Amino acid sequence: SCLCGSAPCLLCGCCPSAKNSTVSRLLFTFFLFLGTLVSIIMIIPGVEKELHKLAGFCEGSGSVLGVQTHIDCGSFLGHKAVYRMGFAMAAFFFLFAVIMVCVRSSKDPRAAVQNGFWFFKFLVLVGITVGAFYIPDGAFSTVWFYFGVVGSFLFILIQLVLLIDFAHSWSQLWLRNAGESSAKGWYAALCIVTFIFYATSIAAIVLLYVYYTKPEGCTEGKVLISINLILCLIVSAVSILPKIQ
């Protein structure tokens, strides 16, 4: 009953009060996290092998009460299964994005759909996910591969912009505090954090070279990592030039 309505139940009465929109963000984030977790499980090496150990679960794993299963575990594991899970999540969020077009406040009648009925939303997500696994292979995997490539590129680009904006705001705040209080501690803190971030970046680059390249091959990986390293060095040098400052 708590999931179907907007009124809090007895178990939620002890929780701190929060706006409906805040709770909605948290629950939608939980749905996204749940879908991501399922995708991770589907792509873990060895999961199909373990499922075959369950009698009657996968084809060729024996029968239960004399009934032979016809489930091909390979059809809902691996990268194709992740594509289907990703398609289901995208369809789910796109559906509610369309429903919420032009909704500006919680007073809008459609806002009740956004902020409530969580049990039914979960059923909708499960239904779309099950339906996605019935999509024939055909061109679906190829088409969704390109959706993934473009989407992941845009996602990384947006994250980079947000990270740069965050780092710039952080730096400006500490520099302003240092200027207003005439305390050297703010400068020292900024230098320490900068050193930690650069050290972490260098360690990450080394790990990329170790785990994603080989001495005899992996030319594409080496080139991509090297280009990123060179660009980071150029941006770091340019950012401290007097004209840029």
Q: Which alpha helices (DSSP H) does the chain contain, by range?
A: 20-43, 47-51, 79-99, 111-115, 118-132, 140-181, 185-212, 219-239
Query: What per-residue confidence (pLDDT) applies to 75?
Result: 60
Using 50, 70 and 90 to split pLDDT, how confident is the model at 1? very low
Query: 196 lies in which domain range?
Result: 183-244
| 80: nearest Cα among 37, 138, 125, 34 | 138
Total tally of structural domains belonging to the chain: 2
Say whether pLDDT at 153 is over 90.
yes
Say whether pLDDT at 158 is over 80.
yes
Contact assessment for residue 151 and residue 159, using Cβ atoms and an 8 Å cutoff:
no
Task: Report if residue 194 sits inside a domain.
Answer: yes
pTM, two decimals, is 0.61
Three-state SS for 195? helix
- Residues 83 and 189 placed together within one structural domain of the fold: no
Tens-place pLDDT, residues 71-96: 566 666 677 778 888 889 999 989 88
The residue count of the chain comes to 245
Task: Report if residue 167 sits inside a domain.
Answer: no
- Residues 36 and 123 placed together within one structural domain of the fold: yes
Query: What per-residue confidence (pLDDT) applies to 42?
Result: 80
Tens-place pLDDT, residues 186-236: 888 888 998 999 999 999 999 999 888 888 878 888 899 999 999 999 988
Q: How far apart are CA 47 and CA 172, in angstroms?
A: 48
Name, in order, each residue with C-beta under 8 angstroms of 141's C-beta and a sequence gap of 6 or more: 79, 80, 83
Task: Report if residue 59 sits inside a domain.
Answer: no
End of a domain among 137, 156, 171? 137
Tens-place pLDDT, residues 121-134: 889 888 998 888 78
- Residues 24 and 131 placed together within one structural domain of the fold: yes
- Kindly state the average pLDDT of the residues 237-244: 86
Using 50, 70 and 90 to split pLDDT, how confident is the model at 3? low
- Residues 213 and 125 placed together within one structural domain of the fold: no
- Residues 190 and 122 placed together within one structural domain of the fold: no
Task: Give the chain's end-to-end CA distance (angstroms, integer).
Answer: 57
